[in-house]
Every structure is written in structure tokens, then in C-alpha cells.
Amino acid sequence: MDALGIVDNNQNFYIMSTNNNGKATKFNPIYGLTIIGVLFFAIILSASIMGVFKGYEPYQQLTAAMLSVAATGVITAMLLYFQRKQQEQLNREQREFQEKQEKNQNEFQVKLVQDQQKFEEEQKSKEKQRLQETKIFEEKLRIYQDFLKKLCDVVKDQKITKEEEIELQFQISYIAMHTKTSSIKVISDNIKEIVLSLKKDKPDANDMLGRLFYIADEFHKELYDDNNSVLVGPDREDTIENFRSILIGKEDVQEYEDDEKQRIIDRYNKKIESKIELTVPERLKYLKAKINSNGADSCNLFYGGKLLNYEFYTKTNKEGKFVKTLDRIAIDFLLEGNDYVIRVGTRKNDPEIIKKIANAFDDRFTPGDTELTGPHWHVHAKFAQETPDDEIVEDMNDLLMRINSYRNGKLSSK
């Protein structure tokens, strides 16, 4: 608080002071003198009543009173001074704190805006990169598909014209724009083998699926930036062999099927010799290749290769043809709990019918008693999982032979 003495228009003297907010207040000195006088008189009166000045001379009493007033004034002034200093310090700290808060708030707002701008820029950059990658992917996919279509057009008529030779070279150059050197090498090697087989009129020239898979592998790696192949291991081998069936003539079907069975047997024999345990689907596929179907009309694996099924269709009395009716006999080999089970039934699920059939070739009817093999099934045999494969094959061969004999009327029902 600052003080300033001024004289107004009526020649009155005032003391002007400013508070902490900068506003001026008037202090009239007459009021101050009056207060001092009243205070002086009060001290003298109090001291007289209390006998403080008893035995002192009047001037001594007056001096003591004045000193008391002065001491009281000094103490009061000091208290007011320290109070004012404390208030000023408090106000200053409040202002500094407020300024600091405002500064921090401003800095936070600036940083928030900067972070938001940075985030938006990063998002734009990512979106731009994503769109660019998508466009490149679509372009590569189009080029690869066009190449395979062109290759198909070139080889499907079993001859390559001069025009096609030029077109194929341009197609390769398009691929080279988006393909690594190592992939181009693999692609060109396999195209060479396909083309040379056609030009040499090799009997197996059409057998090109394996080569095409090698080409597709490289395209897959380029498109998806990984080292995975389109098909691997046994799945690839089986797929190639399956599609090879379209290349054989009707007179070669039996030879193809025999070769297919032997290929599967050789594959799993290697695993068995290497002490590698076969999975349930692998074991059933292995057994299917070794079992003689003995005239069964169908032989298939179901439920992910976990059920081996043989079916003998119904023989009609009029024409002697075998028809796929609900009376057809089904033989299933599957893992039920801890045991492999051979069950026999019909698609009518009638236990009386299967009882008649079972008695004909097994001399007994053993109805099922589990959720998988209910009472409408005849349980022909059960095997522990460690049962040798040859023992299972022998039992299945004998069963299928007897059921075929029953269907053809060579076994009479009992």
C-alpha cells in the first residue's frame, strides 16, 4: 500500500493511499489526531484508575503516558506493516501461480494442436501408403492372372505360333517389373519345361500342374510377401495326383488307381519306418489303400478323414442292377473312444433288417450301444489302437468279401 498527501478544493489535507488493487482511499489527518487523542486520554485514565502513576510527578506521568502511546503506536504500525507484507507476498504468489497456470494451459493447448496435426499427417501418410500398396497389389494380381491366361491360350492348342512366342515374352517382361529376380528364375525355368514338352510332342506334355504350382508359388510370395507355398507336402502331392486323373484314358483307370494306392502306401510306410506315429486320418487313408474293396460300389473317407466307409448298393430283381437305395449296406471303420470299430448297417437304420444281414455273414447280431454306434448298427469287430494294420486289413478284406457274396445271393440269411 502506497500513501500520497494531497489538498482538495476546500484546502483540506488528505493522505491518499492505494490498496493492492490499485484503488485510492482517503485518510483525513483530523480523524487520525482525534484517534490518537482519544487513545492518549484512555491510557491516562486507565493508568490513573489502576494507580499506575501513583507516587510520580505530573510530568513523569505525562511522559510515561506519551511513551505508552508511542510504544502502542509503533507496535501497531509494525503489526500492520508485517500484515501488509504478508498480504503482498500472498498476492504475488497467487499472481505467479495464476500466470504459471495460464502458461501451462497455453503450452498444453499448443502441444495438443501440434499432436493433432502430427496425427492427421501420419494418418494421411498411412492412408496414402495403403492406397499405393493396394494399387500395386491389384496391378500385380492383374499381370499375374493375365500371364496365366496367356500361357493357357498358348499351350491349349498343343502348338505355339510366332505371334504367341512374342506375346509370351512381353508377358514375362510385365511380370519382371513387379517380381524379384529369384522368382523370375523359377517362373522362367518352369515355362521352359512346359513349352519344350509341347514342342517335343512328349506324351505327358499335358501333365503340367506341378509346373504351374511352382509358378503359382512365386506369384503367391510376390503378392503376399511371405515364403509360403500355395500347397505343401502331401497335400500338394495328392492334389497333383488327383488332377492327373483327367489326363488318363478309360482303359488306364485301374492302373491309375493301383498306382495311387501304392503311392500312398509307400508314403506312410516311410513314416512308420521312421517311427513317426500316424494320425487317425493318415492311418485310415493308409488302410484304405491296403484294403481290397471286394466289389464295393463306393469307398470314401468322411468327417475329415476320420471315418472310412464302404457301401454295397441294392441289387434289383428285374434288371439285376445295383441301385443306391436306403437298403444299401454300409460298412464303417472309425475310432470310437479308445478302440477302432467295424460296424455294419443300412441307411434305413432298421435293426431288424441289419439283424437279418448280420446273421447271414457273421452268424450273430451285436447291436451297438454307444452314441456313435446305436442299436441299428451291427458291431462286427473292435480293435485296440495298437492292433497291427495287417490284422485289421485281413479282417476287413474277409468281411467285405462275405458281404459282397451275401448281396449277390451266394450267402443265405439265417
Question: What is the tens place of the pLDDT at every residue in 83-104?
Answer: 888 888 899 889 999 999 988 9
- On whether the pTM is more than 0.95, the answer is no
Ranges 146-155, 174-183, 196-205, 392-401, most confident = 392-401
Residue 3 has a pLDDT of 46
Residue 35 has a pLDDT of 61
Q: How confident is the model at residue 320 (pLDDT cuts 50, 70, 90)?
A: low
The number of beta carbons lying within 10 Å of the beta carbon of residue 284 is 22
8 A C-beta contact, residue 309 and residue 303: no
Distances (CA, A) of 287 to 254, 270, 311: 19, 15, 16
H helix intervals, 274-313: 280-290
Residue 55 has a pLDDT of 54
Least confident segment among 20-34, 197-211, 267-281, 291-305: 20-34
The answer, yes or no, to whether residue 13 has pLDDT greater than 50, is no
| Three-point CA angle 131, 134, 140, nearest 5° | 140
- C-alpha grid cell, residue 187: 517362373
Residue 333 has a pLDDT of 97
Please give the radius of gyration of the chain, using alpha carbons only, rounded to the nearest integer. Answer: 54
Residues belonging to the chain: 414
Residue type, 407: R
* Tens-place pLDDT, residues 337-360: 999 999 999 988 889 999 999 999
Residues 6 or more apart in contact with residue 272 via CB below 8 angstroms: 278
User: Is the Cα torsion angle 139, 144, 149, 151 positive or negative in sign?
Assistant: positive
Q: How confident is the model at residue 159 (pLDDT cuts 50, 70, 90)?
A: confident
Residues 6 or more apart in contact with residue 1 via CB below 8 angstroms: 17, 18, 19, 20, 84
Three-class SS state of 11: coil
| Three-point CA angle 117, 119, 123, nearest 5° | 115
| Residue 298, H or E segment | strand 298-302
The answer, yes or no, to whether residue 17 has pLDDT greater than 70, is no
* CA atoms of 77 and 3, how far apart (whole Å): 14
